[in-house]
């Protein structure tokens, strides 16, 4: 998993002597009862403030000192009191993850990546469903922030495309990180991937297998970030000298059912495509089901590819060729960016790019 790193590495102080922790040293033995942060500091031979810095994963702690503190934590079995930390910092130590996406697999991966980074940093994660297009969504989020429900928010697509809502959050001082927004801004932090480039590459891969009639099922029209995938497909057609047929581009809505409808329309054409590229895996799975219903063999008579590489892609039969979007890594990096912003760390990049990759499995073959 790609980890967030600031543009410039923070300088770390060096430690001149080395101390070692010994379980046999009676003076260092923990006191009875629940261990405290003071116990950790005493055993490691450092200040309480240094222990706090290690817990908060702050940069200005020497590696040797960090190791001593972590060893002491393990030896004592110490865990911080979340309420006390929250009160001391005047923060909730909770991040909000906002979502509205018809693909449950996508949301599950986002949640998993975000939770992992939150747990590593000692933060909680509040999952909050929102209705895309709701004009009062920004007021709802701002109120939750003012109530102390979370310290900052992560917006997943398509919510990350709601420019007016993002503007309102920024104006209200709510820290925001957007995942895969359609447009890059300089007033919020963003984690993006190279959708257009990888869709060009996947279309080229289908061409290399001998396909010349390549169709595309577009993502939800309100999800502008997914529109970059259609742009990549069209750019590849121009590059390869293939005609851009409007009947080969069908509107989908990111759901399995819309993939079935779009696939049926494409396979009913007088000259049906030999390959169908769907803008997400759920729609690609719908195409595979309708192809089976129509008696069209995949991949012998029809190659099918998707986008995202959700678990379903490797679980269906035949296994789906797709673009592996690093969804978990994007969510994990979004959490790391947001925490860095909340801690006012220096040199935080406005944008973190994580590259996707092609995964060719069993649903693609040469003509």
pLDDT at 330: 94
Running DSSP on this structure, what letter comes out for residue 311?
H
Residue 219 to residue 328: CA distance in whole angstroms? 20
Q: How far is CA 99 from the centre of its chain?
A: 12
The pLDDT-based confidence of 149 (bands split at 50, 70, 90) is: confident
Rounded to whole angstroms, the Cα distance separating 116 from 214 reads 39
Examine the pLDDT at 29 and tell me if it is beyond 50. Answer: no
Mean pLDDT estimate for the chain: 83
Q: Retrieve residue 262's tokens.
A: 């779009």
Fold classification of 1-12+22-77 is 434 Repressor (Amino-terminal Domain) (1.10.260)
The segment(s) of the chain belonging to CATH 1.10.260.40 are 1-12+22-77
pLDDT at residue 298, as a whole number:
97
Is the pLDDT assigned to residue 27 strictly greater than 50?
no
- Per-residue pLDDT averaged across 142-152, rounded? 83
Q: Which residues in the chain are classed under CATH 3.40.50.2300?
A: 89-193+327-357, 195-326
pLDDT in the model for residue 143: 84
Q: How confident is the model at residue 164 (pLDDT cuts 50, 70, 90)?
A: confident
23-45 mean pLDDT: 63
Does the predicted TM-score (pTM) go above 0.85?
Answer: no
Q: Is 90 exposed, middle or buried (0-12, 13-18, 19+ CB in 10 A)?
A: exposed
**Per CATH, is 195-326 categorized as 3.90.1570.10?**
no
Band (26; pLDDT cuts 50, 70, 90)? very low
Which pLDDT band holds residue 59 (cuts at 50, 70, 90)?
low
pLDDT at 184 (0 to 100): 82
Dihedral sign for Cα atoms in the order 173, 178, 181, 185: positive
Predicted confidence band at 56 (pLDDT cuts at 50, 70, 90)? Answer: low
Identify the band that residue 235 occupies on the pLDDT scale cut at 50, 70 and 90.
very high
- Residues 242 and 214: their CA atoms lie apart, in Å, by 9
- Which string of DSSP letters, residue by residue, matches 258-291? HHHHHHHHHHTSSS--SEEEESSHHHHHHHHHHH
Element (H or E) spanning 179, and its range?
Answer: strand 176-179
Residue 215: predicted pLDDT:
98
Using a 10 angstrom Cβ sphere, with 0-12 exposed, 13-18 middle and 19 or more buried, the burial of residue 135 is exposed
Q: Is the domain defined by 89-193+327-357 classed in CATH 3.40.640.10?
A: no
Q: What's the pLDDT at 101?
A: 65
Kindly report, residue by residue over 81-140, the tens digit of the pLDDT. 554 454 444 566 889 898 886 667 788 889 999 999 998 888 889 888 877 777 777 888
Give residue 251's pLDDT band: very low, low, confident or very high (50, 70, 90): very high
């Amino acid at each position: 998993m790609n980890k967030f790193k600031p543009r410039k590495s923070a300088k770390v102080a060096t430690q001149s002597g080395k101390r070692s922790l010994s379980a046999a040293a009676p003076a260092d033995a923990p006191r009875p009862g629940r261990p405290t942060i003071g116990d950790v500091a005493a055993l490691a031979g450092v200040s309480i403030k240094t222990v706090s810095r290690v817990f908060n994963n702050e940069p200005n702690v020497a590696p040797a000192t960090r190791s001593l503190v972590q060893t002491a934590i393990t030896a004592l079995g110490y865990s911080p009191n979340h309420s006390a930390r929250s009160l001391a910092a005047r923060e909730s130590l909770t991040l909000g993850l906002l979502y509205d996406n018809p693909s449950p697999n996508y949301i599950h991966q986002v949640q998993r990546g975000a939770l992992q980074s939150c747990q590593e940093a000692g933060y909680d994660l509040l999952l909050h469903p929102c209705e895309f297009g709701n004009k009062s969504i920004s007021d709802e989020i701002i109120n939750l922030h003012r109530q102390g429900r979370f310290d900052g928010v992560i917006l997943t697509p398509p919510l990350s495309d709601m420019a007016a809502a993002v503007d309102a959050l920024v104006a209200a001082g709510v820290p925001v990180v957007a995942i895969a927004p359609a447009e890059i801004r300089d007033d919020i932090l963003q984690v993006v991937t190279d959708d257009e480039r990888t869709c060009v590459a996947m279309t080229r891969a289908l061409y290399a297998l001998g396909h010349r009639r390549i169709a595309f099922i577009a993502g939800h029209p309100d999800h502008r970030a997914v529109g970059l995938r259609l742009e990549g497909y069209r750019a590849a057609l121009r590059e390869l000298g293939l005609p851009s047929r409007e009947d080969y581009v069908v509107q989908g809505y990111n759901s399995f059912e819309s993939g079935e409808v779009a696939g049926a329309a494409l396979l009913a054409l007088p000259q049906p495509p030999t390959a169908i590229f769907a803008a997400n895996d759920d729609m690609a799975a719908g195409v595979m089901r309708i192809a089976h219903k129509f008696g069209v063999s995949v991949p012998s008579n029809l190659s099918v590819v998707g986008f995202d590489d959700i678990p379903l892609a490797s679980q269906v039969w035949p296994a789906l060729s797709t673009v592996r979007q690093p969804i978990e890594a994007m969510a994990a990096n979004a959490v790391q960016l947001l925490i860095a912003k909340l801690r006012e760390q220096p040199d935080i990049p406005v944008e973190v790019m994580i590259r996707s990759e092609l995964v060719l499995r069993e649903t693609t073959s040469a003509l």
